[in-house]
Structures are given as C-alpha cells and as structure tokens.
Amino acid sequence: MKIVSLLPAATEIVCALGLRDRLVARSHECDHPHDVRDLPVLTRARVDSSLPSAELDAQVKRIIAERLPIYMLDEARLASLAPDVVVTQEACEVCAISYEQVVGSLKRTAARARVVSLQPASLGDVLGDIRAVAAACEVPERGAALVDELQGRLRAIARGTSRPRVAVVEWLAPPMLAGHWVPDTIEAAGGAPVGPPAGAMSPYATWDEIRALEPDAVVVAPCGFDLARTVEEALPLRDTLRGLAPAVLLMDGNAYLNRPGPRLVEAAETIAAWLAGRDVPSERAVPLDALVSA
C-alpha cells in the first residue's frame, strides 16, 4: 500500500500507526517525524511564510479575495506515484491544500486512490480521525490501540484543584483566539477555556476584547510558528501580553496545538504542568516572564 499525506497532522498519524514505510510523498509542511523530510514534496504555497504576522495575514487575505488557491499541488508527480490512499483535510483552507483541489487532481491523475479527509472540530474528532486513517490504511487495530494510549495519557494528566481561566492566542497581528480542538485541549489540561467554544472557528479579537475575558493565564501559540518564531514575534508585544493575564506561556503552536494529531496530548500535558507551576519542556514552551527577566 502506498500512502500520500497532504497534511502535517495526517503524516504524524500515519507514522504513529507504524506506517512510515508506506508513505511515498508529503506536503511541504510535513516535518515530523524528522525522517519524513526525505520524502517527495507534492505541494507548495503562494504565500511567503517568512513575512511578519501582519504582512502574512494581509497576503493570505489578498489571495483569498482574488479567488486563488493558497496552495498548489504537483499533479504530475502525484500521478507517477499512483497512491492507494491520500489523506487530506477540510478543516481550514488557509492551513493546508483544500479538499476540492485534491479531489479534482485525483480525478485527473490517480482516480483509484482512496481519499481520507480530516475535518476535526474537537479533540474527540481528532481521536476519531486516527481511527479513520487506520481503517483506510487497513490497520484498524493499530488505530484502536493508539487511541486507547492517548486517552490513557489524557486521563493520567495531573491537574490542579482549581480551574484557571485560559485564553489561547492563535495569531498576533491581528490577534486571533484559538477555536476548533484547542478549547478541548485546555479542558484536558485542567483549565477553563475562555473565548470561542470547542468546535468553533478561530475568531479575530482585539487585545481589549481578550483582556475583557479576564483570563488567569494566556497561551500564545501562533498557527504555523515554531517556538523560536513565536518568541521573536511575541517579545515586542511583551507589555501587551503581560497586561492580559498574570501568566503568559509562549508555545510551539506549529508542533503541539495547531495540528490536529497525536501531539495534542503532549500540548495538554505541557499546559497542565505549567498551570500547576511545574517546569515545562524547553523545546515545547517557555513562560514569557522567564524571557523578560533573563
């Protein structure tokens, strides 16, 4: 069986199911586990992800206004690979290539491929997607085992006795609050999410509107940014961020919160430790105060 993954979270799911050897291609954003970077790349973006947040946001909006696809797919290479399973998504046209593009391309190039489209709106949906990918790849028992393991880790998270109010900032310029599966992840970490409910789209919000939510803690995890990029963009806003809540955590959102895959459990474990006053892995997150006081 040959599998193509056009979504970073899907690549992580496929590999967590023990199917790395069956992956034959990936999207340009798939980077975990590290060895998937050796696979052929089938997508590219029209946007320049190195731009500052405000410019990147404006570029995305301009492309959408012009009714152009944000991502392009290498149809010729897809056809040459002749995959049996293609995993894509329908959750966000900004985050990855659209479902319609993929289906249209497959009709022209690899019609026999089975399409698995992920559309998670909650943490429970993410676990369901793991089962769906496992079933499509003919290893349903591995999917059940992986879900059981992840659910066990979620149940084992050490939570404090209180439930601090937590806001998650998903973009900095302009500010956005995180929806979809992120509120569920905060719940799993022992927090009380404030902002959009679980399953809702991520809305734009002003700093005043976020402050009005009266969070006890704020997690800053810009979509698509690793920890170094998050720190780079957050430090100029440190006074604004410190004015939102008594505690602010800068997190590698790209790896742990933005992707609807297995590492959401690591995100919940990390946030739970931080809320309880314990140290967090430095490769995942860093408290803002630790940077400001350094």
- CATH (domain of 244): 3.40.50.1980
Are 262 and 191 part of one and the same domain? Answer: yes
Given 117, 152, 187, the domain boundary residue is 152
Are 148 and 20 part of one and the same domain? Answer: yes
Are 144 and 197 part of one and the same domain? Answer: no
Are 144 and 9 part of one and the same domain? Answer: yes
Residue 158 has a pLDDT of 80
Residue 68 has a pLDDT of 63
Residue 294 has a pLDDT of 54
Asked if 160 and 189 touch (Cβ cutoff 8 Å), the reply is no
- State the CB neighbour count (10 A cutoff) for residue 10: 30
Residue 69 has a pLDDT of 64
Which pLDDT tens digit goes with each residue over 3-44?
999 999 999 999 999 999 999 999 999 999 999 999 999 998
Residue 92 has a pLDDT of 59
Which pLDDT tens digit goes with each residue over 134-145?
999 999 999 999
Are 36 and 104 part of one and the same domain? Answer: yes
Residue 108 has a pLDDT of 77
pTM score, whole prediction:
0.91
Are 56 and 148 part of one and the same domain? Answer: yes
Domain span including residue 112: 3-152
Residue 93 has a pLDDT of 61
Given 101, 117, 152, the domain boundary residue is 152
Alpha helices in 82-226 (DSSP H): 99-109, 123-136, 140-156, 182-188, 207-212
If one counts the domains in the chain, the total is 2
Q: Which two tokens stand for residue 39?
A: 């696979």
Residues of the chain falling short of pLDDT 70: 47-48, 63-64, 66-69, 91-96, 110-111, 292-294
